[in-house]
Structure 1
Amino acid sequence: MTQVSHFKASDEDQNGLHSSKEFLTFTLGSEDYGIDIHVVQELRGYEQVTRLANSMDHLKGVINLRGVIVPIVDMRIKLQPEKPPVYDQFTVVIVINLHGQVVGIVVDSVSDVVNLNSADIRPAPEVGNTVESGCIVGLGVLEERMLILLDTAALLESVGLHQTAKLAA
């Protein structure tokens, strides 16, 4: 089973050297995001889902992934509700496995995997009391761009998948 560790700007190894961590980067609209690569099980193209009655708009439905029923959450609807999502050949589902619960998150595209040292990660600014602000663990600073680094457990709790978040705590 995958161990999930929260990475903060102050993390150092036992010798006092800055540690590093890998993040899968993806886009939602014009923003770049990153999640811990260790929770990623696989990447898939978007496929038709089985819709669940009376579910929230961002919960698109479920798919059967090799015998496992996987809820599919469209992060574009959750984090950018003013923009209607487009489902095309670039739309990607990131299948994550957090403490044994498998969930798919829909994003516009996946960019790459980046290695960030703790010195490259800045604390997330205090931006009020929004649900999404509690999901941000920091900002990754790269030469040409900035990544919004997400706490996967908090993110899944914010979209109503409480069982996953409770297991991660």
Structure 2
Amino acid sequence: MEQYLIFRLADEHYGLNVNNIENIEKLMPITRVPHTKEYVKGVINLRGEIVPVIDLREKIGVEKEDFGEETRILIVNWKSEFKVGLIIDEVLDVVYLSKEDFDQATRDRNEFKFSIAKYNGLLINIINLEDVLFEKTEEV
């Protein structure tokens, strides 16, 4: 069994392995960085460390909406190499999921493929962090 943070983007539920999450922050001022992709909102100063911030909705193609009171930034740590903030709509829960909770089916959204887990009657799109953080390159 592994722990997953369950969160909301629009009316869909997503999950991310807690081993990848360093902390959860309230939305804070984001400094825009010119000449970056639209989904890169900019950078934040997180206790003296500059961290890039990605709007997860825009990155994976979920309908955009204004940030609300429950909007959070998940600070994720990629293999202790770098940190990135992911803007999400709302943190819902931390749950344990076993292999039996995962469905054989996967779901595609834009170029992203999600595993599907079932928990308490909910279908949860499990995010592959590597897919979200790194651009896919066309093989020639």
Unaligned runs of 5+ in 1: 1-19, 163-169
Runs of 4+ in 1 over 4 A off after TM superposition: none
- What secondary structure does 2:3 align onto? strand
- Aligned ranges for residues 3-152 of structure 1 at < 5 Å? 20-80=1-61, 83-100=63-80, 101-125=82-106, 127=108, 130-133=110-113, 136=114, 138-152=115-129
Deviation at 1:124, TM superposition (A): 3.8
Paired residue type of 1:97? N
Identify, as 1 or 2, the structure richer in strand: 2
- Cα distance in 1 for partners of 2:131, 2:44 equals 22
What TM-score do the two structures reach when normalised by structure 2?
0.88
CA-to-partner distance for each residue in 1:109-141, whole Å, 9 max, x for gaps?
01010101111111343649x4212xx2x2111
User: Unaligned regions of 5+ residues in structure 2, if any?
Assistant: none
Partners of 2:9 and 2:25 lie apart in 1 by: 16
SS at match of 2:7: strand
Alpha carbons of 1:32 and 1:127: their partners in 2 closer, same or farther (altered >3 Å)? Answer: closer
Alpha-carbon shift at residue 54 of structure 1 (Å): 1.3
**How many matched pairs?**
136
Q: Any conservation in 2 of the 1:95–1:103 contact (CA below 8 Å)?
A: yes
Q: CA deviation at 1:67?
A: 2.0
SS at match of 1:84: coil
TM-score (norm 1): 0.74
Q: Secondary structure at the match of 1:22?
A: strand
- Over 3 Å counting, the alpha-carbon distance change for 1:34 and 1:126 in structure 2 is closer
Q: d(CA) in 2 for partners of 1:43 and 1:127?
A: 27
The structure with the largest alpha-carbon Rg is: 1
- Cα distance in 2, alignment partners of residues 126 and 41 from structure 1: 26
Name the structure where helix makes up a greater proportion of residues.
1
Query: What is aligned with 1:13?
Result: none
